[in-house]
Amino acid sequence: MPRYMIAALGLKGRVVAGYKGSNASIMAIEQGEADMSAFNWMAWSSIVPHWFRGDKPFALPIAQIGVIKDPDLPDVPMLVDLVPEKYKAGARFLGTLGPIGRGLALPPGVPKQYVETMRKAFDDMNADAEFAADVRKRTLRLHPTRGVVLQKMVEDALTGASPEVVALVREAVVVRRATE
């Protein structure tokens, strides 16, 4: 995602791949080895919330990549609103990765009643007060999205994902190995 942001926003920068997990990336930033990283806000706000507090915060969120603005970041613009027209379809396509990544998927051809049963169970879990309390106890956040809404996000992303958009996103996202 950082490569796409660099390309779409016309920034100068270099992506350094190879950090093993968010903790290694966080340490690199704290030690001045890296200047930015692209995690989802749930990770940032639960792992290093102190970075973003006070009069002189250590770090600032600069853009949101997603479908819906995070309620914690009302003044942080969406990437899709910052990029030139040529990159908007790609930004919308990339914006679905967060919600889709937290959804459940079933293979093609699954009987409709199974899909409905899974959706109801998922929605019921997210509405359960004990589940919500457990999420809060772990200092995580719960922003559930219903299955039908996720499906619409996927369908909208795929509708806007022409071969040109997929190629543009692939070029900006894929980190090439040194041997290529």
* 61-85 pLDDT tens trace: 989 988 888 888 999 999 999 999 9
Domain assignment present for residue 79? The answer is yes
Q: Does 133 map to a domain?
A: no
Tell me the C-alpha distance between 22 and 38, whole Å: 10
CA–CA separation, 36 and 9 (whole Å): 15
The answer to whether residue 52 scores a pLDDT higher than 90 is: yes
The answer to whether 93 and 160 have CB atoms below 8 angstroms apart is yes
Name 64's bridge partners.
78
Q: Which residue has the higher pLDDT, 110 or 168?
A: 110
CB under 8 Å to 58, separation ≥6 — which residues? 50, 51, 52
Range in 20-34, 52-66, 72-86, 156-170 the model is least confident about:
156-170
The 3 state secondary structure assigned to the chain is CHHHHHHHHCCCCCCCCCCCCHHHHHHHHHCCCCCCCCCCHHHHHHHCHHHHCCCCCCCCCCCECCCCCCCCCCCCCEHHHHCCHHHHHHHHHHHCHHHHHCCCCCCCCCCHHHHHHHHHHHHHHHHCHHHHHHHHHCCCCCCCCCHHHHHHHHHHHHHCCCHHHHHHHHHHHCCCCCCC
- For residues 7-34, give the mean pLDDT: 85
Give the torsion sign (CA, 175, 61, 145, 158).
negative
Which residues make Cβ contacts (< 8 Å) with residue 12, sequence separation at least 6?
A: 6
Residue 134 lies in a domain: no
With a cut of 90, say whether residue 41 has pLDDT above it.
Answer: no
**Span 153-178, mean pLDDT?**
72
Residue 158 lies in a domain: yes
Percent of the chain with pLDDT over 70: 92
Asked, for residue 118, whether it belongs to a domain, the answer is no
Q: How many domains is the chain built from?
A: 1
Residue 180, pLDDT above cutoff 60: no
| pLDDT value at 54 more than 90 | yes
Q: What is the pLDDT of residue 176?
A: 53
The whole domain housing 6 covers 2-103+145-173
Is the pLDDT assigned to residue 38 strictly greater than 90? no
Is residue 130 in some structural domain? no
- Is 70 exceeded by the pLDDT of residue 175? no
Q: Which residue do the tokens 């169970």 mark?
A: 121
Q: Is the pLDDT of residue 177 over 60?
A: no
What are the pLDDT digits (tens) for 103-143? Answer: 677 888 999 999 999 989 988 998 999 999 998 898 777 87
Can you tell me the mean pLDDT for 79-96? 87
- Asked whether the beta carbons of 5 and 64 are under 8 A apart, the reply is no
- Structural domain includes residue 122: no
Say if 62 falls within a structural domain: yes
Whole-model pTM: value is 0.72
Is residue 178 predicted with pLDDT exceeding 50?
Answer: no
